[in-house]
Structure 1
Amino acid sequence: MGHLDHAAFGWLTPVLSYVMACIGAALGLRCTVRALGATGRSRRNWLLTAASAIGTGIWTMHFVAMLGFSVSGTEMRYNVPLTILSLLVAMVVVGAGVFAVGYGRDRGRALVLGGLTTGLGVASMHYLGMAALRLHGQVHYDPALVALSVVIAVVAATAALWAALNIKSPVAVAIASLVMGGAVSSMHYTGMIAVSVRVSPSGEALPGATAMQFIFPLAVGLGSYLFLTSAFVALSPTAGEREASASAQRPVESVAR
Structure 2
Amino acid sequence: MGHLDHAAFGWLTPVLSYVMACVGTALGLRCTVRALRATGTPRRNWLVIAASAIGSGIWTMHFVAMLGFGVGGTEIRYDVPLTLLSLVVAMAVVCGGLFAVGYGRHRVRALLLGGLATGVGVTGMHHLGMAAIRLHGDMSYDPALVVLSVVIGVIAATAVLWAAPNVGSPLAATGASLVLGGAVTGMHFTAMAAVSVRVIPSDDALPGATAMQFVFPLAVGLGSCLFLTSAFVALSPMAEEHEPSVSADRSVTSAV
What TM-score do the two structures reach when normalised by structure 2? 0.93
CA distance in 1, matches of 2:116, 2:30: 20
Aligned equivalents of 1:122, 1:19: Cα separation in 2? 18
Shift of 1:237: 2.2
1:2-81 alignment to 2 at 5 Å?
2-81=2-81
The offset of 1:137, in angstroms, is 0.2
Give me the whole-angstrom Cα distance separating, in 1, the residues matched to 2:121 and 2:241: 30
Contact 1:3-1:71 at 8 Å conserved across structures: yes
Corresponding residue number in structure 2 for 1:89: 89
How many residues are paired up? Answer: 243
1:138 and 2:118 correspond: no
Question: How do residues 1-257 of structure 1 correspond to structure 2 at under 5 angstroms?
Answer: 1-240=1-240
For 1:157, the aligned partner's letter is A
Q: Per-residue deviation at 1:73?
A: 0.2
Secondary structure at the counterpart of residue 228 of structure 1: helix
The 3-state SS of whatever aligns with 1:173 is helix
Distance 2:98 2:115 in 1: 8
* 1:120 positional shift: 1.5
Q: Unaligned 5+ residue runs, structure 1?
A: 244-257
Which secondary structure state, in structure 1, belongs to the residue aligned with residue 207 of structure 2?
A: coil
Shift in Å, 1:242: 7.2
The CA distance in 1 between the partners of 2:127 and 2:242, in whole Å, is 42
- The CA distance in 1 between the partners of 2:115 and 2:34, in whole Å, is 19
Percent same amino acid at aligned positions? 77
For 1:118, give the aligned amino acid.
T
In 2, Cα distance between equivalents of 1:38 and 1:23: 23
After the TM superposition, list the runs of 4 or more consecutive aligned residues in structure 1 that deviate by more than 2 angstroms: 239-243
> Residue 105 of structure 1: SS of its match in structure 2?
coil
Per mean C-alpha deviation after superposition, the further-off stretch among 158-167 and 102-111 is 158-167
Shift of 1:241: 6.2
Contact (CA 8 Å) 2:97, 2:161: kept in 1 or not? no
| RMSD of equivalent CA atoms | 1.1
Deviations 1:45-98 (A, max 9, x none): 100000000010000000000000000000000000000000000011111011
Name the aligned partner's letter for residue 183 of structure 1.
Answer: A
Residue type of the partner of 2:107? R
| Contact 2:52–2:91 (8 Å) recurs in 1 | yes
Code of the residue aligned with 1:149 in structure 2: it is: S
Contact 2:21/2:57, CA 8 A, preserved across alignment? yes
> Matched residue of 1:214: which SS?
helix
CA distance in 2 between counterparts of 1:83 and 1:170 reads 33
Distance in 2, matches of 1:118 and 1:171, equals: 25
Which segment is superposed worse, 224-233 or 184-193?
A: 224-233
SS where residue 90 of structure 2 aligns? helix
Q: Is the 8 A contact 1:37 1:241 kept in 2?
A: no
Identify the range of structure 1 (205-214 vs 160-169) with the bigger mean alpha-carbon deviation.
160-169
